Amino acid sequence: MVNSNQKSKKVIFLLDMDAFYAGCHMANNQKIKDKNLIVSSPNRRSIILTASYNARRFGIKAGMPLFQAEKLCKDLYIVHTDFQLYINFSEKVFDLIFNKYTKKIEVASIDECYIDVTNIWRRFGSVRKLAQTIIDDIKNSFDLSCSIGVSTNKFLAKMAVDFKKPSGISILLEKDIETKIWPLEIKNMFMVGEATERILVENNIKTIKDLAFSNKDFIYKILGKRGITLWNWANGISDDELLQTNNDLKSIGNEMTLNYTTTNYNELESLIFELSSKVSDRAKKRFLIGSVISINLKCLNNLDKNVYSKQERKKHISKQEKIINPTNDVEQIFTVAKRCFYDLWEGEPVLLIGVRLSNLTNKINSFVQQEINEWNEEKFKDLYSKVNKDLIYDLKNKYGKEVIFTGNTLQMHKEKNVSQSKYIKKDDMHLSNDQIINKWKKGNEDYN
């Protein structure tokens, strides 16, 4: 239990939605609630984004190839990704916390947020009672399950949440680090991926305790600044301030895993154009423009079939370019993305390709409406005689329906943009390339 006498200590929750993508589909369709449900894009090379707890009983987990999961469970119920559904549920959950409990939240991802409850938990009797109230509220409101990790800083709250899932509450204090955190294998530490794990293990750092007792300068030497952060975390030192300025949309990205590897540059350009088009469309719907365009690739790095290491067989590379004038125009996104691609690609077989628009700003806020009272009557008559219905029609027909609109419509778009961009830090979609490849093979002129 968090000690109420520790006035200098904050009480931080990490709210983590349980099997979120799967949960959204089941909440949206009660008929599939008891299925062995997994979420994946439609081609067999795809990986599983998440699996329901029913499916996990068969050993199925996120990141597993779809074909492997199908071998483990014969009656899998596969649903395709629906990121708009996930965004809608995510916004509802975060809105509930923001409007009903506290405005001190930091969105960590589409299904996680930190909550500073230091000043409100006493109203509920105890920290645990508040956590249970939030879990029950989300379940009753949206039919979604979540778990909550509780501590005095963000790292410990994040580590705590995985101790009791699903629908669990786990309290982890600084005094528990020695018994609950240090014995864990280093791969179980937050933000330690395969590459970092390999470096640490090669240097005989196999547990979180090993990291905590390592020389700080040595950790900096092998991992850089990120290593210092990990070293601090291993010793229970972490930030307790929530970054509420991060609660806006930061990037829009589309990527696809290919059904088969390819080195055909015409085909790859077609994919880049389609991805750029998707990114452009979604940015326009949110009235967002961005000044950084990037491309990311996953390629086969080693064609030797006797090499089984994922790290040695594949390489993940990316490149970005900053442009002077922010845009959401498909041609400009495509041009920059294609340029980045050819700067990056060395002819290896491509497994995955993605395009991203980031450093986003609100396009609507760049519009300045001229006040009528700034013109005299003669100027207004002259303007009206020039800007007639035919001209407006021509403008919209040539440049799109949102090129010109009224002040009332502008305000509606501003409100819509706020509601759509609030909370979600990154808006990603994973696509199948079946349709695009078919278009390319048929010689669709849009892809030439």
Instruction: Name the residue type at position 116.
Output: D
Cα–Cα dist 84/21, whole Å: 11
Strand 76-79 to strand 36-40: parallel, antiparallel, or no bridges (unpaired)?
parallel
How far apart, in whole angstroms, are the C-alpha atoms of residue 23 and residue 145?
7
Give per-residue burial for 263-276: e unless 16+ CB within 10 Å, then b: eeeebbbbbbbbbb
- Does 446 appear as a known binding residue? no
Annotated catalytic, 112?
Answer: yes
Residue 353 backbone zone (phi > 0: left; psi -120 to 50: alpha; other: beta): beta
Element (H, E) at 198: helix 194-202
* Plot region of 122 (φ>0 → left; ψ -120 to 50 → alpha; else → beta): alpha
Q: Is 248 annotated as a binding residue?
A: no
Between CA 209 and CA 228 the distance in angstroms is: 15
Q: Which of 70, 91, 106, 112 is catalytic?
A: 112
Using CB atoms within 10 Å of the CB of residue 248, give its burial: 0 to 12 exposed, 13 to 18 middle, 19+ buried.
Answer: middle
For the annotated binding site for Mg(2+), the residues are 16, 111
What residues are annotated to the active site?
112
For the annotated binding site, the residues are 16, 111
